[in-house]
C-alpha cells in the first residue's frame, strides 16, 4: 500500500505462475477485481495504490480449495 500522486485508488494483482494452473490464477484475479469494484473502501484508504500478491503455498491445493466467500471475508478484514 503506497500513497498515490493523485486522488484516485489504484489496484494491481500479481499471481505467480507457481501458484496453480491458469484457471486458478485467473479466478484469483477475477475475485480481486470483483471485490474492488463492488465493495466500498473506507475514507482512510482514499488515494492509495494497492498491490495484491499471491505467492505459492506449501500445500499445492491451497488455492484450489478456497471459495469466493473465504476470499471476500479476508478482503473485508483488510479494511
Closest Cα to residue 52, out of 68, 30, 70, 69?
30
Residue 6 lies inside a defined structural domain of this protein: yes
Cell numbers that stand for 37 in this block: 469494484
pTM for the full model?
A: 0.69
What total of structural domains would you count in the chain? Answer: 1
Q: For 43-54, what is each residue's pLDDT tens digit? A: 677 778 888 888
Cell numbers that stand for 25 in this block: 490464477
* Cβ contact 47:7 at 8 Å: yes
Residue 74 lies inside a defined structural domain of this protein: no
Closest Cα to residue 74, out of 31, 44, 45?
31
Domain with 21 in it:
2-66
Q: For 12-31, what is each residue's pLDDT tens digit? A: 888 888 888 888 888 888 88
Residue 58 lies inside a defined structural domain of this protein: yes
Amino acid at each position: 500500500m503506497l500513497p498515490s500522486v493523485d486522488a484516485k485508488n489504484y489496484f494491481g494483482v500479481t499471481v505467480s505462475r507457481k501458484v496453480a494452473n491458469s484457471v486458478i490464477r485467473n479466478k484469483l484475479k477475477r475475485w480481486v477485481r470483483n471485490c474492488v469494484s463492488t465493495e466500498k473502501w473506507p475514507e482512510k484508504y482514499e488515494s492509495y495504490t494497492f498491490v495484491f500478491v499471491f505467492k505459492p503455498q506449501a500445500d499445492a491445493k491451497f488455492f484450489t480449495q478456497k471459495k469466493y466467500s473465504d476470499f471476500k471475508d479476508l478482503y473485508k478484514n483488510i479494511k
